[in-house]
Every structure is written in C-alpha cells, then in structure tokens.
C-alpha cells in the first residue's frame, strides 16, 4: 500500500498540473470518433465514414423514445439571444446549430419561433436520435431539422455536409448553441452508469457504441497516481488520495464494475460532508469528463463554431462545471482581446438561471450561460460600456464570476 508524505502529495499535485490533459484525456479513439458522422433518416446517402456498429437495443426501443423528459435549462435566455440576432440582422434567421440536441427542448422552441430556419444538430447519444425519430419526424422529413450522430467537435465535417446538401443556400450559422453535459434521461437511466444513486454498469459513455474506455475501464486500469490525477484535475476533488488507494485495494480482490460499488466505496472512505451532496459527486463528474473527453471537445469546438457564425451571428454556451466554463470564458476573452477581434462577449459576466428556474428545476442550479457575437464586416469593438447595447438584461448576473478569474 502506498503512503504519501505531505511533500509527496505536493509534488503529486505539481505533476498533475504538468501532465494536464495529455495522457489520460481524451481517451483512445477520440480522434477517430470525431470523424464519424451518421445522419438520421438518411444514413444511406449522406453519411460520411459511417460506423460499423448497429444501433443498440436500448437506443432504438420504444422505451428510449418515451424516456423521461428533459427540462431545457435557461430556455428563455436562449430564445432571447436568438431573437437578439433576428433584430440585429433585421431579417429572419436562416441557419442554426444545436451541438447537444438531447431531447430537443431548445431545438423545438427555436424551430417554433423562427419558422424560416433550418437547424443542423448533433448528439452523440443514440437515445437522443431514437427520441427525435418519433418526436421530430415531420421536421426531419422536411429537412428543417438535420440531425447527425456526431461529436460537436466534428463541426467542420458537419458544415461540409451542410454545404454539400444545401450548396450556396448555406451561408453560415446565424445562431449556434451547446448545452453541455448530460441530459436528465441519461442521468436517470441506471443502465447508462452516470448515477451514483442507482445501480448500473459503470459505463458513462455518451455514445454506448463508441469504442472508448468506460468508467469501469478507467477505475480498474489506471494506476493509483493516475486516479489521483483524474479525480483532482477533472473532478476538482481536493484530497482524492484515500479514495484512489481504496480503489486500488478493492480491485485486487474484484473488479469495480457497478456504479453503487464505487459510490459506496467513496462514501465509506470520504463520508458525508455536506447535506444533499453525495460524496461521490465530484469523483463521478471527473470520470464522466475523462470517459467522454468532454473538455477537449469543447476546446476544439469553440473556435470552429465562431468561425462558422455568419456576421452578427451569436454562439451561446450553457455549461455546468467550472472547468467547462473557464474554457469558454478564456476562449471568448482571447478572441475578443485579439488585435483583429472577430467579435465580442455579449455580456462581461456569465448569466445564471433565475431563482424561480433554480427552484423549479434544481438541475439548472450550476448552469452558466455565455454568449459571443460575431462582428459584421467592418465592425469594430465599441468602446466605453461596450456590452450595454448587446444584452437582454432580464436574468441576473452571475455572482461568483470574479472568483473564477485567473
Ligand atoms: C444537457 S443535454 C442537452 C439537452 C437539450 N438541450 C434539450 O433541451 O433537450 C446534453 C446532450 O449533449 C450530448 N452531448 C454531450 N457532449 C456532446 C458532444 N461532445 N457532442 C455531441 N453531443 C454531446 C449528450 O449526449 C446529451 O444528450
């Protein structure tokens, strides 16, 4: 059994910072997965690089189509941003992109309010596609909705597909959004392995068909040192040493294959510190981010997305994790501060859900929305109160934004 002195722990944490993201995440086959695009309802003639695995039973079953609903987070704020583009352009929106289609809550509202719009969308989860086949059949048939099975980081390929299909009609996106993380049906379905309250296989892949390592693979195969790295870096657990050690000890006698097996181990080792906050929360979060290479996907996506916006177009990002939000904030700020800035933040601070929304939908509590607006040709950043003209002010500002400054 490894015992660390304080000095060793400090040097551990230094190593963590150094090794950042390179070795463990994204996990194998990420690059290959990025090239895989399957398009709903037209896989025969428009897909590129179609995967060879068929649909899993769970994804195509009627149960999947009728799985628990997902309440879209900050829907009003998203609609306000789309409407702001409409007013800025003084014409109807033509093209939009939703990189995290889920159950299509945001997509539905956008399609209903902007009737001239075509929405290009994607989601990694086959269950999202099964649900769309039923609930968006008309929009898919009419090609108002073009839904791909793809990582949103694969945006350049998705744009290429849109150009091939719609030729010169495709002029770039007036509005783009991603609503990061997992959907309620993913969390609530024990079989997906995201929940520490329900027993299921320790999987956590957003696309269960993807040949990437599951959470169980990571938990059973990473060294103790690597587990510490993962939990502290991606889960932001302050002292993950005892849990990492206990995992290594436990797996000597049996593999850790189930969500409750891991959750109970963490509970035993760390105990409860905060009422209503399961001790496994951050550990599971770290594993999920690692399994799906989520941070890398966001990093790859953001600059491509901004390059795909039409003049005066906006990109809206809803994140639920401080590491995600930091990537968004830094990317937007970098682009805004560049000598030849191509656009600007719509507001200086992130927007958070209203008190009412947080009460009605507790899962919205950690959400943060940031929006970036692309300049029109020849437009330059406005000086002085540069955000005043851009933002609908209905939602309250994020209170703790400054604590997040680097
Ligand atoms: C929070 S839900 C989105 C819910 C959706 N806005 C709605 O209203 O129903 C996030 C969705 O994004 C998907 N997802 C997460 N990361 C992704 C990625 N990198 N590429 C594509 N889909 C992703 C998940 O599978 C999940 O369905």
Q: Could you tell me if 364 and 353 are in contact, meaning their C-beta atoms sit under 8 angstroms apart?
A: yes
Distance CA 370, CA 349 (A): 8
- The alpha-carbon radius of gyration of the chain (Å, integer) is 21
Query: Which stretch of DSSP H or E encloses residue 60?
Result: helix 57-60
pLDDT of residue 378: 84
Q: Name the band, by pLDDT with cuts 50, 70 and 90, for residue 7.
A: low
Mean pLDDT of the chain: 84
Alpha-carbon span 32 to 158, nearest angstrom: 15
Report residue 387's pLDDT band, with 50, 70 and 90 as the boundaries: low
Task: Give the Å distance between the CA of 250 and the centre of ligand 1.
Answer: 33
pLDDT score of 17 more than 60: no
CA of 47 to the centre of ligand 1 (A): 20
Share of the chain above pLDDT 70, in %: 77
Domain made up of 1-406: CATH architecture: 3-Layer(aba) Sandwich (3.40)
Q: Cα(128) to centroid of ligand 1, in Å? A: 8
**pLDDT confidence of residue 46:** 33
Whose CA is closest to atom 22 on ligand 1? 123
3-12, 279-288, 332-341, range with the lowest pLDDT:
3-12
Please report, rounded to a whole number, the percentage of residues in the chain having pLDDT higher than 90. 71
Ligand 1 centroid vs 98 CA: distance in angstroms? Answer: 9
Lowest-pLDDT range of 138-142, 170-174, 300-304, 378-382:
378-382
Q: Give the tens place of pLDDT for each residue, 311-323.
A: 999 999 999 999 9
Residue 228, C-beta contacts closer than 8 angstroms, at least 6 positions apart: 12, 16, 240, 241, 244
**Is pLDDT at 197 greater than 70 in this prediction?**
yes
Give distance in angstroms: CA of 378 to centre of ligand 1. Answer: 35
Domain ranges of the chain: 1-406
If you take atom 4 of ligand 1, which residue's CA is the nearest one?
A: 102
- Dump strand ranges (E) for 124-187: 145-149, 173-179
Q: If pLDDT is split at 50, 70 and 90, which confidence band does 356 have? A: very high
Atom of ligand 1 nearest to the CA of 125: 25
- CB of residue 152 inside a 6 A radius of ligand 1: yes
Report pLDDT for 64: 45
Position 28 scores a pLDDT of 39
Burial code of 125-152, b = ≥16 C-beta within 10 A, e = fewer? bbbbbbbbeeebeebbeeeebbbbbbbb
The predicted structure's pLDDT at residue 35: 56
Average the pLDDT over 299-316 and give the result. Answer: 97
Q: Which residues contact 334 (CB under 8 A, 6 or more apart)?
A: none
- Strand 118-123, strand 368-374: pairing: unpaired
Which is the closest atom of ligand 1 to the Cα of 102?
Answer: 27
C-alpha–C-alpha distance, residues 295 and 25, integer Å: 9
Q: How far is CA 280 from the centre of its chain?
A: 20
Pocket flag, ligand 1, residue 100 (CB < 6 Å): yes
């Amino acid at each position: 059994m490894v015992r660390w002195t304080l000095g060793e722990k400090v040097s551990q944490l230094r190593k963590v910072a150094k090794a950042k993201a390179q070795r463990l995440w994204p996990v194998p086959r990420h690059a290959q997965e990025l090239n895989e695009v399957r398009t709903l309802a037209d896989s025969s003639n428009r897909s590129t690089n179609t995967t060879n695995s068929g649909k899993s039973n769970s994804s195509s079953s009627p149960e999947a189509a009728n799985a628990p609903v997902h309440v879209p987070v900050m829907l009003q704020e998203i609609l306000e941003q789309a409407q702001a583009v409409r007013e800025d352009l003084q014409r109807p929106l033509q093209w939009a992109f939703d990189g995290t289609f889920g159950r299509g809550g945001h997509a539905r509202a956008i399609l209903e309010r902007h009737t001239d719009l075509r929405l290009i969308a994607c989601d990694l989860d086959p269950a999202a596609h099964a649900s769309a086949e039923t609930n968006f059949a008309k929009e898919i048939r009419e090609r108002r909705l073009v839904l791909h099975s793809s990582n949103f980081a694969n945006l350049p390929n998705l744009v290429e597909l849109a150009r091939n299909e719609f030729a010169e009609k495709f002029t770039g996106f007036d509005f783009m959004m991603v609503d990061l993380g997992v959907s309620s049906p993913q969390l609530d379905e024990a079989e997906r392995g995201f929940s520490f309250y329900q027993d299921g296989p320790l999987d956590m892949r957003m696309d269960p068909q993807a040949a990437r390592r599951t959470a169980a693979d990571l938990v059973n195969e990473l060294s103790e040192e690597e587990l510490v790295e993962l939990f502290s870096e991606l889960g932001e657990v302050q002292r993950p040493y005892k849990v990492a050690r206990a995992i290594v000890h436990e797996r000597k006698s049996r593999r850790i294959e189930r969500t409750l097996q891991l959750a109970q181990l963490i509970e035993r080792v760390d105990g409860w510190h905060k009422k209503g906050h399961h001790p496994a929360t951050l550990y599971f979060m770290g594993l999920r981010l690692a399994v799906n290479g989520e941070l890398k996907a966001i990093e790859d996506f953001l600059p491509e997305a901004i390059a795909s916006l039409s003049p005066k177009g906006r990109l809206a990002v809803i994140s639920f994790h401080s590491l995600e939000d930091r990537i968004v904030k830094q990317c937007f700020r970098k682009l805004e501060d560049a000598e030849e800035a191509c656009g600007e933040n719509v507001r200086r601070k992130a927007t958070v859900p209203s008190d009412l929304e947080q009460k009605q939908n507790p899962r919205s509590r950690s959400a943060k929305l940031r929006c970036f607006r692309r300049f029109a040709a020849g437009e330059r950043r406005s000086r002085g109160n540069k955000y005043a003209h851009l933002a609908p002010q209905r939602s309250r500002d994020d209170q703790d934004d400054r604590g997040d400054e680097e």
